């Protein structure tokens, strides 16, 4: 029996649902994060957005980080997301520590950041992977070039599979891309009993509904219509 004179035990901080956008450079993560947060707010949800620590770091330092600077950036991204989730119903995060870990793996052959990044990623409500179907756009020293998109995409997918983390691939342009992201986010925000079960489909399989075939059909339709 509790002592009525003793102070009540502090309640744990509320933890909001975190929706993270991951993917290679120039695949629209930042634009989509802004649009997705706005769309969820328009539905009456209490939403905050978490921006990318790495981008802020590069702008401030006017360079990309060295190998020994990656861990602090990844940790700062995870901490920023956790702080936002402690105070908001929904968090839309423009990237997560997973992307820092993947770039460390690609550029420095350092896989030490993957385990903590995946541990954090497992706690998030949804992982949206932006597809490689947008034209690459230069952004000064913040981007390495279109040649790294496919390798980064492959490493992200491999890491998510390694961590047993389900993800939704978000493709299309403009309103179509937002609609796909919003549908995935809304499904993830449903109660567990109502949310559809995630199923991974290999990019090289023969399933007519898998991502590779959907993107190919979309590209063919664009060619026929001049889009």
Assess whether pLDDT exceeds 90 at residue 127: yes
Q: Which H or E run includes 29? A: helix 29-42
- Residue 64 maps to a domain: yes
Selection from 168-177, 195-204, 211-220 with the highest mean pLDDT: 168-177
Q: State the CATH number of the domain containing residue 22.
A: 3.40.50.300
Does residue 147 sit in the same domain as residue 212? no
Within a domain: residue 11?
no
Higher per-residue confidence, 205 vs 21: 21
6 is a domain residue: no
Q: What pLDDT was estimated at residue 206?
A: 37
Residues 139 and 227 in one domain: no
Has residue 7 been placed in a domain?
no
Q: What is the pLDDT of residues 176-189, one digit of tens each?
A: 999 999 999 999 99
Which residues form the domain of 226? Answer: 199-227
Q: 151-155, 173-177, 192-196 — which is least confidently predicted?
A: 192-196
**Domain identity same for 61 and 152:** yes
One domain, residues 66 and 90: yes
Dihedral angle computed from the Cα positions of residues 133, 136, 141 and 145, in that order, rounded to the nearest 10 degrees: 80
Q: Is residue 143 part of a domain?
A: yes
What per-residue confidence (pLDDT) applies to 10?
Answer: 39
* 180/207 same-domain check: no
What does the buried/exposed string (b/e) look like for 114-132 if buried means 16 or more CB atoms within 10 Å of the residue's CB? bebbbebbeebbbbbbbbb
Residues 167, 204: one domain?
A: no
Calculate the average pLDDT of the chain: 81
Better-predicted residue by pLDDT, 138 or 30:
30
Q: Please check whether residue 10 lies inside any domain of the structure.
A: no
Q: Which of 137-146, 152-161, 180-189, 196-205 has the lowest mean pLDDT?
A: 196-205
Contacts of 192 (CB under 8 A, 6+ apart): none
Q: Which residues contact 129 (CB under 8 A, 6 or more apart)?
A: 22, 23, 153, 156, 157, 160, 167, 168, 169, 170
With a cut of 90, say whether residue 214 has pLDDT above it: no
Most confidently modeled range among 66-70, 147-151, 202-206: 66-70
Indicate whether 227 and 138 sit together in one domain: no
Q: Tell whether 184 and 205 lie within a shared domain.
A: no
Span 75-112, pLDDT tens digits: 999 999 999 999 999 999 999 999 999 999 999 999 99
pLDDT of residue 24: 92
Q: Let me know whether 75 and 178 are in one domain.
A: yes
Distance CA 22, CA 97 (A): 9
Share of the chain above pLDDT 70, in %: 73
Residue 23 is assigned to a structural domain of this protein: yes
Output the pTM of the full model: 0.77
- How many domains does the structure of the chain reveal? 2
The edge-to-edge listing of strands for the beta sheet with 168-170 is 47-50, 90-94, 17-22, 126-130, 168-170
Residues 46 and 136 grouped into a single domain? yes
Find out whether 92 and 36 touch, Cβ atoms under 8 Å.
yes
Q: Is residue 170 part of a domain?
A: yes
- Give the pair of three-digit tokens for residue 208: 């007519």
| Distance, CA of 65 to CA of 118 (rounded, Å) | 21
């Amino acid at each position: 029996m509790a002592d009525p004179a003793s102070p009540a035990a502090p309640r744990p901080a509320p933890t909001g649902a975190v929706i993270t956008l991951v993917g290679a450079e120039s695949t629209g993560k930042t634009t989509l994060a802004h649009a997705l947060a706005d769309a969820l707010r328009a539905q009456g949800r209490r939403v905050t957005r978490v921006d990318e620590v790495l981008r802020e770091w590069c702008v401030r330092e006017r360079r990309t980080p060295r190998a020994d600077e990656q861990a602090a950036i990844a940790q700062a991204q995870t901490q920023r997301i956790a702080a936002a989730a402690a105070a908001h119903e929904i968090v839309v995060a423009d990237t997560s520590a997973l992307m820092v870990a993947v770039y460390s793996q690609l550029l420095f052959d350092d896989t030490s950041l993957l385990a903590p990044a995946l541990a954090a990623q497992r706690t998030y409500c949804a992982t949206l992977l932006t597809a490689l179907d947008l034209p690459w756009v230069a952004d000064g020293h913040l981007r390495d070039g279109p040649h790294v998109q496919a390798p980064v995409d492959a490493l992200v997918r491999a890491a998510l599979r390694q961590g047993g983390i389900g993800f939704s691939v978000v493709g299309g342009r403009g309103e179509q891309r937002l609609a796909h992201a919003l549908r995935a986010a809304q499904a993830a925000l449903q109660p567990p009993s109502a949310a559809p079960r995630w199923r991974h489909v290999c990019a090289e399989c023969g399933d007519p509904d898998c991502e590779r075939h959907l993107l190919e059909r979309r590209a063919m339709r664009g060619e026929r219509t001049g889009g």
